[in-house]
Structure 1
Amino acid sequence: MVIDNFITVILSVIKTGLGLCDETDITVKGLEAIKSCERVYLEAYTSILMVPKEQLEKFYGKELIIADREMVESQSDEILLNANSLNIAFLVVGDPFGATTHTDLVIRARELNIPVTVIHNASIINAIGTCGLQLYNFGQTISIPFFTNTWKPDSFYDRIKENKDLGLHTLCLLAIQQLFEIEETRNQKVYTTESLAIGIARLGSSTDQQIKVGTLNQLLSQDFGPPLHSLVIVGSRVHILEIDFMRFFAVDKQLYNEIVKKDYGI
């Protein structure tokens, strides 16, 4: 019996599979959904996994079809093919709506009168709270792409400034060095090499998660190991409990205390 024609499932990435980290991070509901599907797609470009897809296939008991950017953005009809008679799963690292591409896919399915079931899971957006900052003090999340010689987009800078003007923290996905390069170009002092920040690697891993607090300059010299990497630029609206919590992760606790006193008056 076909229960749902199109099932969107999230898998968190952490260390060995989906979900935030490994294959066991999937919810019970998500695993049951996958087992009911004839075709299972694994979205493989908005985030990367920390385990090979073979490990996921063994745990889920299903062959996974890799869905790259071109397939998801330009060949959605292929993903939705025969969805009026088959259960199809679309697996996403994190949460299904963590990227606008997945919203587009849901819209396309509904235009074709294909029912959509969404099964949520943990993502970087809520798990980032483990660094000690309170979620309601975060502003817009930004993505910082790796630059090329001819492509250096800087629209993320405006989002950081908007967050800063409100005193809010900014979650940055990917690269620190690009922050410095764009600040030199814009020169609005939205952040400096001495701005307080938090570097995070492999969030959710039970074995090698890393969280380090320091200036942007300090974090740039730290070895965080392999991906996934994220960065939080700490805003001015900081609660005393956030200060106390971050101290545990400080690269240099004496310098941390000096920065907190100078920049935050705490």
Structure 2
Amino acid sequence: MLTFIGLGLYDKNDISEKGLSFIRSADHVFLEGYTSRLMGTTREELEAFYQKPVRLLMRADVEQHPGELLDCAARGNTVFLCAGDPMVSTTHADLRIRAADRGIPTAIIHGSSVVSAVCGLSGLQNYRFGKSCSVPFPQAHWSPTSPLDVIAENRALRLHTLVYLDIQDGRYMTANEGIGLLEGMARKKQVTIPLYIGIARAGSDAPVVRAGTADALCSMDFGPPLHVLVVPGELHDMERQYLERFAGLC
């Protein structure tokens, strides 16, 4: 049996009671550490909380070499943990398909996700979001502009865009860096992004939410990770009032 369990947004206490009971009764516990992270805890704290050893998996372990994980699931109760909600990442959908192909029963225990958290923190209506995108750290001879294309398409439809920021080898892109990269793309394509929303540490006791122009937000200190951006489309009056009240929009 392979059970996918979402851990929520920030620390060990975000998990549901159902998810915790499944972990504590599992024969094997795996934690993926590449699509997102629980910044309010450590693996050692999770092991103490779960009363179980936790094996950390990185991208290659899940996407290219999932054999050991699937072998464990074929023999006994195995849980696959990730921050947020398990099926927001298509990688995890692929893993569930692989398990099904081997005849391994699967189940999902959902957790809170940044996809819904940004709506509560920003006041933007969830049904007014279009396709999301990700901003990667630039590499030598590779600097994609596809995130800007997604934003432009959404804005043409008056829709908001959730922008994920890259995580690489313990390096976490900040809202400031993400805005800087998007502004660079915008200059190349001669387009303008009039408004950004930066959100830091969603799910923590002290999240930061700020709305403003690129110049205004790039000078701000959003504090420790994780950060995410939203590029709004056309704002409803209620959305604008919410941003003015809770995100400092002028």
TM-score (normalizing by structure 1): 0.85
Partners of 2:28 and 2:72 within 8 A in 1: no
Aligned residues: 236
Match of 2:156 in 1: 165
Provide the alpha-carbon RMSD of the alignment.
Answer: 1.2
Which 4+ residue blocks in structure 1 deviate beyond 3 angstroms?
A: none
- How far residue 49 of structure 1 moved from its aligned partner, in angstroms, is 2.1
1:46-99 deviation digits (Å, cap 9, x = unpaired): 112212111111111111100001101111111111423300100011001111
Candidates 25, 28, 40, aligned match of 1:36: 25
Partners of 1:141 and 1:172 within 8 A in 2: yes
Does residue 219 (structure 1) correspond to residue 217 (structure 2)? The answer is yes
For residues 69 and 85 of structure 1, what CA distance do their matches in structure 2 show?
23
Match of 1:249 in 2: 246
What SS class does the counterpart of residue 97 from structure 1 fall into?
helix
Match of 2:6 in 1: 10
Alignment of 1:35-54 (within 5 A): 35-50=24-39, 51-54=41-44
Match of 1:118 in 2: 108
Match of 2:54 in 1: 64
Does residue 183 (structure 1) correspond to residue 186 (structure 2)? The answer is yes
Alignment of 1:127-146 (within 5 A): 127-130=117-120, 131-146=122-137
- Which runs of no fewer than 5 residues in structure 2 stay unpaired? 166-177
How many percent identity over aligned positions?
Answer: 42
- How far residue 149 of structure 1 moved from its aligned partner, in angstroms, is 2.9
For residues 245 and 197 of structure 1, what CA distance do their matches in structure 2 show?
14
- Which runs of no fewer than 5 residues in structure 1 stay unpaired? 13-19, 257-266
For residues 46 and 248 of structure 1, what CA distance do their matches in structure 2 show?
32
For residues 146 and 44 of structure 2, what CA distance do their matches in structure 1 show?
37
Does residue 228 (structure 1) correspond to residue 218 (structure 2)? The answer is no
For residues 185 and 196 of structure 2, what CA distance do their matches in structure 1 show?
17
Alignment of 1:83-98 (within 5 A): 83-98=73-88
1:106-130 deviation digits (Å, cap 9, x = unpaired): 0100000101100111100011112
Match of 1:16 in 2: none
- How far residue 147 of structure 1 moved from its aligned partner, in angstroms, is 0.9
For residues 85 and 244 of structure 1, what CA distance do their matches in structure 2 show?
54
What SS class does the counterpart of residue 154 from structure 2 fall into?
helix
1:195-246 deviation digits (Å, cap 9, x = unpaired): 122110001111x21001111221111100111001111101x221111110
Candidates 231, 236, 240, aligned match of 1:239: 236
Alignment of 1:72-87 (within 5 A): 72-87=62-77
